[in-house]
Structure formats: structure tokens, C-alpha cells
Structure 1
Amino acid sequence: MTTAEPRLTLYGAQASGSIAVEAALTLLGIPYTLVEGATWADNEARERVAPVNPMRQIPTLVMPGGEIMTESAAILIYLADLHASAGLAPAPTDARRRQYLRWMVYVSSAIYSLHWIKPDVGRIGAPESARASVVDAVHERIAFCWSNMDGQLTPGKYLLGDELSVLDLYVTVVSRFGPWRDRFYQVAPRMTPVVRRVDQEPRLIAFWRERFPLE
């Protein structure tokens, strides 16, 4: 009788920031147990995540030994480095590594983090009556940040050249959030062909369909 190999446990949800991590795990062929729950909309899901992440946010990754990782960019960087032979990130000695780290952190801090405001504008001291205008302002800021990134990249087939990286996965997923892809296409014309290519990545077609349909 064989003992099952310990698995990673990922707390995530459809059409959420966990999707980039799930996509990376799919490409790497790493088995994991998914605990489903949209924590921004479901109190039961928040309480399910609370024992492993007091912030009650996803993605939260639990290692087989019980160690916790949070923050999607950190998880993606870790997975890519741990499985370096898959080529999902430039090596530390690669000249592209600096820009890779720069833009991974930029997407996380300048763009993805702004979505935290939208479910509860009171988090920044705004009244609920101002929600529509706050969300509009958040979307305008996100569009500006995408434009800023786009203006400083010269993509090849992918954002960093000719190899798919977790940065491509991250941008592909986060660009599906508000102000949504149509606006992204307008403000980020250089990155647009890349995310469309990742949308059609043969190894992820079934995954996208199940976990985050573009429609």
C-alpha cells in the first residue's frame, strides 16, 4: 500500500486573483487541493480562509508541511523559481530578471491592490453613497497604470521576450478585472497581443474555460 504524496492546498475562487496561481500550477503539472470560496462576497468563505490567513483573502497557499504563503506575486515568483527547468521566469543571472521582478511587484502593488477598495469603499473612508464615483476613479487609475507599464515595455512574443513567464499569466488574469479588457486593449496596445496569445495558450484553454471564461 502506497502513501499519497502530500499536496499543496490553495484557497481560491473562480475569476479571482488565485487564477494566475492556478494557471501556473496547471502549466507546471503540480497537483493541488483547491478550497473554493469568493471571500470578497461570501462570509462563509471568509471564515473558511481565516484559520490560514487572518486577512481572509485569496490566494492563500498552504504547503504540505503547513507553512502559509499569501500574495499572488510572491507565490508566482516562488513557484517559477522552485521549478526553474520549466522556464516560467528569468534566472537570477538573466539580464531580464530585474525587469521581471519590477513588473511583478508593480502589477501587485500599483494595480491589483486597488481592487481591494471596490467591495467596500469604506476601507478608504468613503461613504457608500460615493461608491460609484470611487470605483470609477479606481478604474481610471488602473487604466493609467496599465498605460504606464505598456509604455515602458517592448514585448516579443511574450512580455519579456519569446518565453512565456508567470508575468504573462499575472497580467493576463489581472487585465480581465475592471476596467476590463476593452479598456486594457485601448491603453496597453503593446501588451494586448501578449494577453490574447496567453488567452489561447493550448495548455490552458480548458483551464480558462473552467476557471475564468473571458466572456
Structure 2
Amino acid sequence: MADEYVVHGAAGSGSVPVEATLRLLGLPYRVVENAPWASKAAADAVGQVNRLRQVPAVILPTGELMTESAAILIHLADSHPQAGLAPAVGAPQRAQFLRWMTYLPAQVYSMFWVRDEPSRLGADEAHEKVILERTTQRIADCWRMMDEQVEPGDYILGAAFSVLDLYVTVMSRWTPRRKVFYQAAPKMSAVVRRVDADPRLADFWAQRMPFEGAWEG
């Protein structure tokens, strides 16, 4: 289809909030499933689209490539303002929306480039163990600092649901997982549970990020 979005991604990955947003917007899309951390073949396949060999990478209906999950989410929300998935330019919450949408990949998501392959920075197994321990603590600290500075209503920015809530909900299920997140970010914990239970996404979560196994920590 010429009007579909093509999402290069993987279940449980950073493509999940993008896929969820496309679902909520009712936009046609298909997923090219490749987890670049799983094998060299998968990484090479992603590398044909995104030279960083990272997901998500999205081909827009125009044929244009977009990478960087925060940029994709903001673009989708701003391109479909009628859905209300982001504060409009000039709205009181817009500055904080942009602040936190940028904070998440800069401070939290970036840790996973290290964690997925600690040998990138560690000289040996002992160093890699320290890297994993310290990045786990850094992620928890970043959640704590964000939680201290937000005043959620039903959602992080207040009463309105946004792609920021999707982004936090997905990332909060990654290492060090929800038990640590609940302790570090008690104010945002109610928000992610609300998004977990959103009936519009029940089937989607079951397919792309199921509530089973050890995801809570």
C-alpha cells in the first residue's frame, strides 16, 4: 500500500510505542520484524534501512525514512492533531512535553546501547558486570529525578493522554523493570498502570509486549 507506514522493529522494543500510536491513530502500517540485538543477520537487515542498525526505523507513506523513536512519536502526534496525542504548539503543556520526550531517549533509552552489548565499552567480563550494575542504577536514578519533577493527573501531563505516556509505559518495563520503577517513580506508577489497562490497546499489548513472564522485575 502506498499510504502505509512501514515499521522496522521488534516485539518489546522501542518500536512498540510507535506501533501503539499508529494503532490509536487508525493509520495503516506493517511491521518488518527484526531484533538487531538478537543476531548479526538481524542487525545487518536493519542496517540496510538505518545505518545505526537500530529500531525503530519507519518509512513514511511519502517514502521518507524516520529514525529516533521520540522524533517519530512527536511527528505522528503533530501530524494528526485531531487525535490529541500531544499538546499543540503554544499549549501550556507543550514545553514540558518536549522536555520529557527529549529526556527519555537522552537519559534512559541511551543506556540500552551500552546494556545490549556491554563489551562495546568493557575491556573484560569484570568491567562488563560493573557497566551493567551502574547503568541499572543510572536508569533508576533517571526515573526518580523525572518523577520528582512531574505532577501527573490521570496522565503525566495532567488529564490528557499523550504519546509521552506510551513512551514511559513501554520503557518502564525494560531493565530494571517495573518493581524498581514503582519504587523510583511512585507518581508515574499510577499512570503506567492506567496505560497498561487501556482497553484500546489490550489486543496490541498481548501481541507486542505481553504481560507475562518476568517483566515486572
TM range (shorter): over 0.9
Q: Which amino acid aligns with 1:31?
A: P
Contact 1:169 1:198 in 2 (8 A): yes
Name the CA distance, whole Å, in 2 between partners of 1:129 and 1:93. Answer: 50
Match of 1:190, SS state, is helix
Equivalenced residues, count: 212
> Is the counterpart of residue 20 in structure 1 residue 20 in structure 2?
no
Q: Which amino acid aligns with 1:9?
A: V
Name the CA distance, whole Å, in 2 between partners of 1:41 and 1:133. Answer: 22
Partner of 1:55: 52
Partner of 1:180: 177
Shift of 1:125: 4.3
Name the CA distance, whole Å, in 2 between partners of 1:19 and 1:103. Answer: 18
> Is the counterpart of residue 114 in structure 1 residue 106 in structure 2?
no
> Is the counterpart of residue 195 in structure 1 residue 192 in structure 2?
yes
Contact 1:176 1:214 in 2 (8 A): no
Name the CA distance, whole Å, in 2 between partners of 1:126 and 1:174. Answer: 28
Q: Which amino acid aligns with 1:123?
A: R
Partner of 2:137: 140
Q: How many percent of aligned residue pairs carry the same amino acid? A: 51
Name the CA distance, whole Å, in 2 between partners of 1:135 and 1:125. Answer: 10
Partner of 1:169: 166
71, 84, 87: which one pairs with 1:87? 84
Deviations along 1:117-160, whole A, 9 cap, x unmatched? 01222322442332222111101000000000000000000000
Partner of 1:29: 26
Name the CA distance, whole Å, in 1 between partners of 2:93 and 2:121. Answer: 36
Deviations along 1:54-82, whole A, 9 cap, x unmatched? 11100000123321100000000000000
Contact 1:121 1:127 in 2 (8 A): no
Name the CA distance, whole Å, in 1 between partners of 2:80 and 2:40. Answer: 35
Please provide the CA RMSD for this pair: 1.1
Partner of 1:156: 153
TM-score (norm 1): 0.95
Question: Gapped runs of 5+ residues in structure 1?
Answer: none
Q: Which amino acid aligns with 1:179?
A: P
Deviations along 1:92-136, whole A, 9 cap, x unmatched? 110100000000000110001101101222322442332222111
Shift of 1:50: 1.4
Partner of 2:40: 43
Deviations along 1:144-196, whole A, 9 cap, x unmatched? 00000000000000000111100000000000000000000001000000000
Q: Which amino acid aligns with 2:87?
A: P
Contact 2:122 2:131 in 1 (8 A): no
6, 11, 16: which one pairs with 2:8? 11
Name the CA distance, whole Å, in 2 between partners of 1:155 and 1:65. Answer: 36
Question: Gapped runs of 5+ residues in structure 2?
Answer: 213-217
Contact 1:87 1:165 in 2 (8 A): yes
Match of 2:53, SS state, is coil
Partner of 1:105: 102
Match of 1:170, SS state, is helix
Name the CA distance, whole Å, in 2 between partners of 1:120 and 1:127. Answer: 12
Name the CA distance, whole Å, in 1 between partners of 2:53 and 2:205. Answer: 25
Partner of 2:128: 131
Name the CA distance, whole Å, in 2 between partners of 1:126 and 1:180. Answer: 27
